[in-house]
């Protein structure tokens, strides 16, 4: 059984992975004068600070009528009673704890017409780190088509499937999860787009995520 890490997982159960994006040069021989010096790796963009990420979050003005922003709870309050069984990749992810943290984060949550939700996180780190951890995270959550999540003493069956992503940013990731709750099935879509050293993640009703992901990505700094 895996206890979900508050540092690596939000309410929408995001996850991470690996892709080195450092550009390395090539070396070659001259006509008789020896090898050319090897090109230096391109310098990666540094992470932005949390204060610089907050203005990048969606606002009620961006979303339109019907949305109400809600106060965030601390990570400890949100996840200290949630565990997962039946998915080895998620168990391994939960054990990594602080290793799944990005350098900086800002977040916001909204309700829509009272019964729908939309959550957003904006993360920043070096591009190679963001890419690596996003691939690991989304890889873990899409590795098991079904697993059981326990909230307190209530077992919840979860079904997961990969989702199509729009051509935005440098990398895109998405999956849809269906949770069989006592009150009925709830469907959530999780989508992340990385643009350089910043990544935006949305989770909520699939229609809301699809409707607002382009606006969310559009708020990221160009060439970040």
Which CATH number goes with the domain that contains 161? 3.40.1000.70
Say yes or no to pLDDT of 224 above 60.
no
Following DSSP, what letter does each residue of 123-158 receive, concatenated? EE--HHHHHHHHHHHHHHHTS-SEEEEEETTEEEEE
Helices in the chain by DSSP H: which ranges? 50-53, 60-63, 75-79, 88-95, 127-141, 206-218
Say yes or no to pLDDT of 128 above 70.
yes
Per the domain annotation, does 23 fall within a domain?
no
According to the model, what pLDDT value does residue 13 have?
35
According to the model, what pLDDT value does residue 83 have?
83
Per the domain annotation, does 71 fall within a domain?
yes
Per the domain annotation, does 32 fall within a domain?
no
pLDDT digits (tens, 9 = 90+) for 155-185: 999 999 999 999 999 999 999 999 998 889 9
Residue 76 binned pLDDT confidence (cut-offs 50, 70, 90) = very low
- Write out the two tokens for 106: 């800002």
Say yes or no to pLDDT of 32 above 50.
no
Distances (CA, A) of 18 to 21, 72, 105, 137, 159: 10, 29, 19, 9, 24
Give pTM, 2 decimals.
0.79
According to the model, what pLDDT value does residue 139 have?
94
Per the domain annotation, does 213 fall within a domain?
yes
Per the domain annotation, does 40 fall within a domain?
no
DSSP 22: -
Per the domain annotation, does 30 fall within a domain?
no
Domain count, the chain: 1
Cβ neighbour number for residue 220 with a 10 Å cutoff: 22
Cβ-proximal residues to 85 (8 Å cutoff; 6+ apart), any chain: 1, 2, 147, 148, 149, 150
Instruction: Identify the weakest region by mean pLDDT among 13-17, 106-110, 187-191.
Output: 13-17
Separation between Cα atoms, residue 86 and residue 217, nearest integer Å: 34
According to the model, what pLDDT value does residue 115 have?
82
Per the domain annotation, does 158 fall within a domain?
yes
Range of the domain at 180: 2-18+45-218
Per the domain annotation, does 26 fall within a domain?
no
């Amino acid at each position: 059984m895996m206890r979900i890490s508050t540092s690596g997982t939000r309410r929408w159960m995001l996850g991470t992975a690996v892709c080195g994006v450092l550009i390395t040069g090539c070396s070659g021989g001259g006509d008789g004068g020896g090898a050319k010096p090897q090109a230096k790796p391109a310098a990666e963009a540094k992470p932005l600070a949390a204060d610089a990420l907050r203005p990048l979050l969606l606002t009620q003005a961006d979303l339109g009528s019907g949305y109400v922003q809600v106060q965030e709870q601390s990570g400890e309050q949100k996840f200290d009673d949630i565990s997962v069984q039946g998915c080895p990749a998620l168990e391994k992810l939960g054990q990594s704890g602080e290793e799944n943290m990005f350098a900086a984060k800002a977040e916001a949550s909204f309700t829509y017409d009272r019964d729908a939700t939309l959550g957003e996180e904006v993360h920043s780190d070096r591009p190679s780190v963001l890419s690596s951890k996003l691939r690991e995270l989304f890889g873990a959550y899409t590795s098991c088509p079904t697993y059981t999540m326990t909230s307190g003493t209530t077992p919840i069956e979860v079904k997961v499937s990969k989702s199509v992503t729009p051509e935005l940013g440098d990398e895109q990731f998405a999956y849809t999860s269906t949770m069989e709750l006592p009150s009925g099935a709830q469907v959530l879509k999780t989508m992340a787009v990385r643009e350089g050293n910043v990544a935006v993640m949305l989770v909520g009703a699939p229609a809301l995520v699809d409707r607002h992901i382009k606006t969310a990505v559009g708020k990221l700094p160009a060439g970040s």
